[in-house]
Amino acid sequence: MSILLKNVRAVDDMKDFFCDIFIDSGKIMSVGKNISREADRVIDGGGRLIVIPGLFDMHVHFRDPGQTHKEDVLTGCAAALAGGVTGVVCMPNTNPPIDSADTVQYILDKAKGTGVDVYPAGCITKGMKGTELYDWGQLGVKIISDDGRPVENGELMRRALEESNKNGLLVASHCEDLSIINGGIVNKGEVSEKLGVKGMDRASEDSVTAREIALADSCGARIHICHVSTKGSVGLIRDAKKRGIKVTCETCPHYFTYTEEKVLSRDADYRMNPPLRTEEDRQAVLEAVLDGTIDCIVTDHAPHTAEEKADFEKAPNGVVGLETSLAVTLTQLFHTKKLPLIRIAGLMSVAPRKLLGVPVTRIEKGAKADLAVIDLDMEWTVEPEKLRSKSHNTVFKGEKLRGRVVTTISDGVIRYEVDN
């Protein structure tokens, strides 16, 4: 399939310019002004549409295998494409967990032909039980994590980091001390007291973040901190980076958009782990995105059914986010003039691929044609029932957003177009 994108504004982490883009045989064949080529499909941006490299979300839960009533690889990939995402890392807390070559291959086989590059994360410990390290050489993965729960045994985590110096795997940590959490379901503080429920003390996140940084420093290894949500963790990571420790981190749009006030509605769609925090925490996370302390923006896409989310206190934690992440980021950061598009492309397209060690997509001749076409000014309201994810537990339901992916191209094929 050949595609000609006319009169578009092309943005990646290095450049921002107006051009035409000709795509054929899965690659960008030419980038320039006034390209005159026959194409199977011509999209005229009218100088208004933006083209960025396909996003890469390095933290999603596709629930496949084992919990496919919530999501599966196919519906997860469809949701990804609707959000301009052409690559993902799916976390290993499936059933069974991703701790065998067979499970990795099952996911890879199911993802073939979707248009999304799916990278399964392997477990750090066998069965995610936290008692014994797995033999990762069998898995063929690029990243390991027990995400969904922490590796509670510090020595096991130290050994995993030590081994990563030899095998090159990125170790990603879900930073949470379960003994401090102790059954908490929202952030601990005034809101949890008003609700009359147990709270999740931010010390749970901060203490394990500090441990992981210390272990990485001891081993001279890389550590990636998942879904940063507190002022304390931000400060620890910023300081560690200044000291030359090989720490990277991510956050999600809900942590720089909302606070714990949302859960006062007793709506479990606003419950996730880590939870929405205070305004002070939100501001700290936002500042860390702006100053580069936070390396990438992800979703922690975590589908649950409406039935599971019906009871506020008993519901599982987690929210979907693949279809809204870019739009929320544009609304919160670009349209408020906090971040330019070049930085957003870096945070959501380029940096995650670099961290994972997979080919980086940029808008240049010869590059893989994985692109998201965006209407920056399209306003739309998030309607959960229209999401392509199998589950509709979005924290952004009812929000009016500005900016939307209108077309997603991967491997040179149009995989998604917005409904008009």
How far is CA 261 from each of CA 191, 204, 254, 255, rounded to the nearest angstrom? 7, 20, 12, 12
What sign for the dihedral angle of Cα 121, 127, 129, 133? negative
User: Could you confirm whether 300 is annotated as catalytic?
Assistant: yes
Q: Cβ contacts of residue 33 below 8 Å, gap of 6+?
A: 18, 19, 20
How many residues in the chain? 420
The beta strand positions in 122-278, using DSSP E, are 143-145, 170-173, 186-187, 199-200, 223-225, 247-251
Burial of 47 (0-12, 13-18, 19+ CB in 10 A): exposed
Task: State the CATH architecture for 54-356.
Answer: Alpha-Beta Barrel (3.20)
Q: What is the mean pLDDT of the chain?
A: 97
Give the position of tokens 């936070």.
294
User: Per-residue pLDDT tens for 357-398?
Assistant: 999 999 999 999 999 999 999 999 999 999 999 999 999 999
pLDDT in tens, 180-193: 999 999 999 999 99
Distance of CA 6 to the CA centre of its chain: 30
- Residue 212 confidence (pLDDT) above 80: yes
Angle 353-359-363 from CA coordinates, rounded to 5°: 90
Do residues 374 and 48 make contact, with C-beta atoms less than 8 angstroms apart? no
**DSSP 8-state secondary structure symbol assigned to residue 349:** I
Domain boundaries, the chain: 3-51+366-377+399-417, 54-356
DSSP string, 287-330: HHHHHTSS-EE---B----TTTTSSTTTSPP-BB-TTTHHHHHI
What stretches of 65-153 show up as alpha helix (H) in DSSP? 73-82, 101-111
DSSP 197-219: S-EE-THHHHHHHHHHHHHHHHH
Place of tokens 């670099």: 354
- The pLDDT tens digits for 311-357 are 999 999 999 999 999 999 999 999 999 999 999 999 999 999 999 99
CATH code for the domain defined by 3-51+366-377+399-417: 2.30.40.10
Beta bridge partners of residue 20, listed in sequence order = 32
| Start-to-end CA span in the chain (Å) | 23
pLDDT of residue 420: 67
Give Cβ neighbours of residue 244 (< 8 Å, ≥ 6 apart).
none
Decide: 173 and 226 in contact? Cβ < 8 Å: yes
Beta strand 3-11 with 49-53 is parallel
pTM: 0.97
Grade residue 148 by pLDDT with cuts at 50, 70 and 90.
confident
Question: Residue 301: beta bridge partners?
Answer: 60, 319
Sole residue written with tokens 């936002």: 286
Going by DSSP bridges, is the β-strand pair 186-187/199-200 parallel, antiparallel, or unpaired?
parallel
87 within 8 A of 119, measured Cβ to Cβ: yes
Interior angle at CA 391, CA 385 and CA 396, nearest 5:
65
pLDDT tens figures, 29-62 = 999 999 999 999 999 999 999 999 999 999 999 9
Other beta carbons within 10 Å of 328: 25
pLDDT at 138: 81
241-252 in b/e form (b: 16+ CB < 10 A) is beeebbbbbbbb
**For position 386, what pLDDT does the model report?**
97
pLDDT on residue 137? 85
Q: What is the pLDDT of residue 413?
A: 98
How high is the pLDDT of residue 311? 98
Provide the residue type at 278 as one letter.
Answer: T
Q: Which of 64, 300, 375, 411 is labelled catalytic?
A: 300
Q: For 211-236, what is the mean pLDDT?
A: 98
How many angstroms separate the CA atoms of 187 and 202, rounded? 7
